[in-house]
Amino acid sequence: MRKTEPTIAGRQLDRGSVIGPLVASGVHVDDCWSDWGPPDGQRPLLHGLTLTDLRLTRVALSGAVLRDVRVEGLSCDKTSMFFFANQFERVTLRGRVGTVILNPKHVSPEYERAYVDAIRAAEADVEWTLDITEAVGKVEVRGYAADRIRRDPETQVVVRRENLLDGRWRTFDWEGTAFRVGLDLMVRAGWPDTVLTVDATRRNHRTQLSVLRRLRDEGIADQR
């Protein structure tokens, strides 16, 4: 396994390509994207990666398989913080990660349903998909199976769809937090569950913690 400090720019991640194993630090990836296609064996594979202080600008990573990947320290611009239709198998995010939004739906309507189905099947075959226990920042997990995600139960809680059916949550005082937005997305999209996470980098992080405690006390979020 080699150690390197690369700068990668202006590249397409082709279908059938494999990246890894690799240990890298201080990497800047700019103006890179993944080729689109169906969720088959030709999806790009990123495996055995250990990346420290990764910076992404103008990056669109979608439809890839990430296996045994560890990222400690992540910075994304507004283009790069969205990750669509990626399959996660033992992927760890640690340290400051800025804003990261993870969604199993592909941005192309042609592949949208197929990717969700493929990712759901893959989730059932692994012990865990994501570990965000030590991630610091705004981590939004939209539609991935909550029971396959390793998390800090104090700052990252699971809310299940069945606990929202009585509508009580709509009357809550959310105290300026954005958690209601996450629950609205969950209800509209039909996800069975979602993970709400405290962003410890925000000034209102103590208020966020208080709101999550109330959700647990009300039986809306899981107790642990």
**H/E/C letters for each residue in the chain?**
CCEECCEEECCEECCCCEECCEEEECCEEEEEEECCCCCCCCCCEEEEEEEEEEEEEEEECECCEEEEEEEEEEEECCCCCEEECCEEEEEEEEEEEEEEEEECCCCCCCCHHHHHHHHHHHHCCCCCCEECCCEEEEEEECCCCHHHEECCCCCEEEEEHHHHCCCHHHHCCCCCCCHHHHHHHHHHHCCCEEEEECCCCCCCHHHHHHHHHHHHHCCCECCC
| Same domain flag for 39 and 112 | yes
| Same domain flag for 28 and 96 | yes
| Same domain flag for 54 and 141 | yes
Single residue among 151, 186, 213 that ends a domain in this structure: 151
Single residue among 105, 134, 151 that ends a domain in this structure: 151
| Same domain flag for 47 and 124 | yes
**Residue numbers of the domain that contains 37:** 1-151
| Same domain flag for 185 and 87 | no
Single residue among 116, 132, 151 that ends a domain in this structure: 151
Could you list the pLDDT tens digit for every one of the 224 residues in the chain?
444 457 899 999 999 999 999 999 999 999 999 999 999 999 999 999 999 999 999 999 999 999 999 999 999 999 999 999 999 999 999 999 999 999 999 999 999 999 999 999 999 999 999 999 999 999 999 999 999 999 999 999 999 999 999 999 999 999 999 999 999 999 999 999 999 999 999 999 999 999 999 999 999 999 98
Q: How many domains does the chain have?
A: 2
